[in-house]
């Protein structure tokens, strides 16, 4: 068993965990991301661990149980502070799970007060007077009001969170945060004396988050999006450093698999093709017809890999996706494509690929699972929210694997070749 960790994090979804880990690494922490609660003690020497759960939209009782299991494991690794990470658009239903999980963690940690803020100014999520903005508009005008699983129809986070918890919810507003950490500490003392258990915190810039950080030093539990993470490593005497993101040297062949149909990914696929790189589209209808599309793709890739990165993609524009979904069903189409891409990822690694970019949140989950990856060490950022990661030797047939998991709308147009340059 290795040294004790400083910060123990619990993330309610997979790419959100990577996003948090990325911010911690940029602030100087050495970070490992665990896929689910590990069965064993941590093997690596790191400052923080992010346990990635998939608990955002499951039943509240189940989300609580998984989060408490993660808490116990993190405590056993020595974590001095716990960070519950949720989405920067505060994705939740009236039943939870942000409120119930926060409550359960507070109780388990014996603390009567914590903060809650999804603010992430780098990605244009800001909180002002308790109201969450996504870009230029309030949350409930951002498209999130139509989300299929977690429609967000009220931008006032004090009200949203109050509906999910027995604790009284209050606000640490912008005027207080602007005056600095001491003013925040005084406001916290005042709120506690009034019986407030959780306070939404305003933040409209990274400066706000950096001012907030020191005021959270003694808090056993912090709950937030990934933004607050930029201000916490300093509390442990850690400063940004290049060394935090150093991964083992990369080698082997290079490939990209993409099951994301987001706008940014469509541009990235096009840009890769226009650069003259080999790319193969896979057709969901042929998968549905029983063709072994994965075997075809692997046979196509085999002779090309020696000459540089190849791309296998199901990425398509909205109209084409709708038409496939109309014929196969939304979930069936998604699951079928995810399975096929995961099988292709596994086959590519068997062919010697050791640098793999995966595009798509759900697609990433499927690939990481198929590759048998349990832990990822987090390295340098390729683009905001997307770092290179390294899976230890047990994955990828004993050789280790560099892998980047890109959620839908992240990354510049040249992401699919830029990623490999960053790794050099």
In the complex, the smallest distance separating the C-beta of residue 162 from ligand ADP, rounded to whole angstroms, is 30
Is position 360 an interface residue for ligand ADP (rule: CB under 6 A)?
A: yes
Residue among 362, 350, 423 at smallest CA distance from 16: 362
In the complex, the smallest distance separating the C-beta of residue 346 from ligand ADP, rounded to whole angstroms, is 16
In the complex, the smallest distance separating the C-beta of residue 303 from ligand ADP, rounded to whole angstroms, is 25
Residue 193 sits at φ, ψ, to 5 deg, of: -65, -20
* CA–CA gap between residue 107 and residue 147 (Å, rounded): 31
Give start and end residues of each alpha helix (H) in 226-317.
263-274, 284-288, 293-301
Is position 363 an interface residue for ligand ADP (rule: CB under 6 A)?
A: yes
Is position 268 an interface residue for ligand ADP (rule: CB under 6 A)?
A: no
Q: Which of 408, 413, 414, 418 contacts ligand ADP by CB under 6 A? A: 408
* CA–CA gap between residue 212 and residue 174 (Å, rounded): 11
Instruction: Output 169 or 321, the one with its CB closest to ligand ADP.
Output: 321
Q: What is the signed CA dihedral for 207, 150, 69, 125, rounded to 10 degrees?
A: -10
Per CB under 6 A, the segment of 5-13, 57-65, 169-177, 359-367 that binds ligand ADP is 359-367
With 0-12 / 13-18 / 19 or more C-beta atoms within 10 angstroms meaning exposed / middle / buried, residue 149 is exposed
* CA–CA gap between residue 201 and residue 227 (Å, rounded): 12
Residue in this structure with the two tokens 């139509």, named with its chain if needed: 146
- Cα 416 vs. chain centroid, distance in angstroms? 19
Instruction: Output 232 or 261, the one with its CB closest to ligand ADP.
Output: 261
Per CB under 6 A, the segment of 35-43, 237-245, 320-328, 412-420 that binds ligand ADP is 320-328
Is position 88 an interface residue for ligand ADP (rule: CB under 6 A)?
A: no
Read off the tokens for 34. Answer: 């665990």
In the complex, the smallest distance separating the C-beta of residue 282 from ligand ADP, rounded to whole angstroms, is 8
Residue 382 sits at φ, ψ, to 5 deg, of: -90, -50
Is position 362 an interface residue for ligand ADP (rule: CB under 6 A)?
A: yes
Q: Three-state SS for 124?
A: coil
* CA–CA gap between residue 173 and residue 162 (Å, rounded): 17
Q: Which of 361, 379, 392, 411 contacts ligand ADP by CB under 6 A? A: 361
Instruction: Output 148 or 237, the one with its CB closest to ligand ADP.
Output: 148
Q: What is the total count of residues that contact ligand ADP (CB under 6 A)? A: 21
Q: Which of 140, 314, 355, 377 contacts ligand ADP by CB under 6 A? A: 314
Contact 40, 55 (CB under 8 A): no
Is position 321 an interface residue for ligand ADP (rule: CB under 6 A)?
A: yes
Q: Which of 324, 356, 368, 389 contacts ligand ADP by CB under 6 A? A: 324
Summarize as ranges the residues that interact with ligand ADP (CB under 6 A).
Answer: 259-262, 265, 284, 314, 316, 321, 324-325, 333-334, 337-338, 360-363, 407-408
């Amino acid at each position: 068993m290795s040294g004790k960790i400083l910060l123990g994090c619990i993330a309610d979804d997979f790419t959100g965990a990577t996003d948090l880990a990325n911010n911690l690494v940029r602030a100087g922490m050495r970070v490992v991301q665990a896929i689910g609660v590990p069965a064993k003690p941590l093997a690596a020497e790191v400052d923080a661990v992010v346990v990635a759960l998939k608990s955002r939209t499951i039943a509240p009782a189940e989300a609580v149980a998984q989060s408490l299991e993660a808490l116990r494991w993190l405590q056993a690794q020595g974590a001095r502070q716990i960070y519950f990470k949720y989405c920067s658009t505060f994705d939740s239903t009236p039943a939870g799970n942000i409120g119930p999980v926060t409550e359960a963690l507070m109780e388990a940690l014996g603390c009567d007060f914590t903060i809650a803020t999804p603010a992430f100014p780098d990605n244009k999520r800001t909180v002002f007077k308790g109201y969450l903005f996504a870009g230029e508009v309030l949350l409930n005008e951002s498209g999130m009001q139509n989300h299929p699983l977690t429609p967000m129809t009220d931008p006032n986070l004090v009200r949203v969170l109050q509906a999910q918890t027995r604790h009284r919810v209050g606000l640490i507003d912008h005027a207080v945060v602007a005056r600095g950490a001491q003013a925040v500490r005084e406001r916290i003392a005042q709120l506690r004396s009034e019986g407030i258990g959780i306070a939404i915190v305003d933040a409209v810039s990274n400066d706000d988050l950096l001012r907030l950080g020191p005021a959270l030093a003694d808090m056993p539990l912090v709950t937030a999006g990934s933004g607050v993470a930029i201000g916490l490593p300093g509390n442990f005497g850690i400063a940004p450093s290049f060394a935090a993101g150093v991964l083992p040297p990369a080698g082997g062949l290079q490939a990209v698999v993409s099951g994301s149909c987001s706008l940014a990914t469509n541009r990235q696929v096009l840009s890769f093709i226009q650069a003259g790189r080999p790319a193969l589209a896979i057709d969901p209808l042929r998968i549905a017809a029983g063709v072994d599309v994965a075997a075809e793709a692997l046979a196509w890739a085999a002779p090309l890999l020696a000459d540089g990165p190849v791309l296998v993609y199901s990425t398509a524009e909205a109209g084409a996706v709708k038409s496939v979904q109309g014929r196969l069903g939304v979930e069936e189409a998604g699951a079928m494509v995810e399975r096929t891409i995961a099988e292709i990822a596994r086959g590519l690694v068997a062919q010697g690929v050791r640098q793999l970019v995966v595009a798509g949140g759900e697609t990433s989950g499927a690939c990481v699972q198929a590759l048998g990856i349990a832990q990822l060490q987090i390295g340098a950022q390729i683009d905001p929210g997307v770092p290179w990661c390294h899976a230890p030797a047990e994955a990828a047939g004993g050789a280790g694997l560099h892998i980047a998991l890109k959620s839908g709308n992240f990354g510049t147009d040249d992401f699919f070749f830029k990623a490999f340059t960053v790794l050099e």
